Amino acid sequence: MSYPGEDLSGKHAVVTGGGGAIAGEVAMRLARAGCRVAVWDLSGGKAQRTADAAAGEGGKAIGVECDVTSRESIRDALERSLAAWGTIDILVNGAGGSHPSTTTASDLPFFYIDPDDIRSVMDLNYLGIVMCCQAVGAVMAEREAGSITNITSVAGVRPLTRAVAYCNGKAAANSFTQWLAVHMNQTYSKAIRVNAVAPGFVLTEQNRFLLNDPDTGEPTERGRKVLEAVPAGRYGTVEEIADLVVYLSGDRAGFINGAVIPIDGGFSAYAGV
């Protein structure tokens, strides 16, 4: 099944966090564009489900279990991916997430958040990207070509309330994206690009109950606050984010490098007045 507007036939990709909503859609759309995709996820079952869905549409994909906070796990996943596809042209770092233990609440003041919990969330959202870029980036450096897209968050551009470690991790990932783009060009090849897509608020099955009342379908109080802060007046979709990632992965985006691109309906541009 072809993907209108982008032809990635003959390309080989790794998508981390590919068992989730956003990265899963990215993996699907890369496969539709003709790319052979290795779907990495902490849950091997979820990775395989995405791969099976892509294959069901005529794409080529494999599911690979991978913990992006473990160098050994990344190394094993890379070996499996290279055994299947031979090389890697595209890396999409989609693994990430927050945790209640690092989110302030009435029963969890900032002063009592455990540093080990902060470290764990930082490892997932920042160090996981760094280590995957080390492993897959080495393949690209040897080939002197490739495209890396990190899925970060507008929370790394404008910190949100409460989610301290998540915001810090995404901010570090945004900064690393720009650093790595320069480093790869100056040290290895002008044909290696590194960018980040920073999604705003996206309605998924994981957060729908927090933002929409399940009985009425109307926004919850939290949902209303979110929508008031987004000039576009709506949530984004996983499809919109995936479309941008696929574009950045292709040759038509050849002069986009070192960019952190918000896709947030204007949220990061709005001061609230």
Beta-carbon contacts of residue 260 (< 8 Å; ≥ 6 apart): 152, 157, 174, 177, 178, 195, 196, 198
How big is the chain, counted in residues? 273
Catalytic-labelled residue, pool 3, 112, 126, 166: 166
Q: Among all chains, which residue has been given the structure tokens 């760094």?
A: 130
- Whether 235 is catalytic: no
For 142, the token pair is 């040897």
Q: How far, in Å, are 26, 90, 148, 181, 220 from residue 249 at the CA level?
A: 11, 6, 7, 14, 36
Please spell the DSSP secondary structure of 93-136, one letter per residue.
E------GGGB-BTTB-GGG--HHHHHHHHIIIIIHHHHHHHHH
The distance from CA 69 to its chain's CA centroid, rounded to whole angstroms, is 15
Mark 237-272 as b/e (b = at least 16 C-beta within 10 Å): bbeebbbbbbbbbbeebeeebbbbbbbbbebeeeee
The DSSP 8-state label assigned to residue 57 in this structure reads T
Catalytic residue annotation: 166
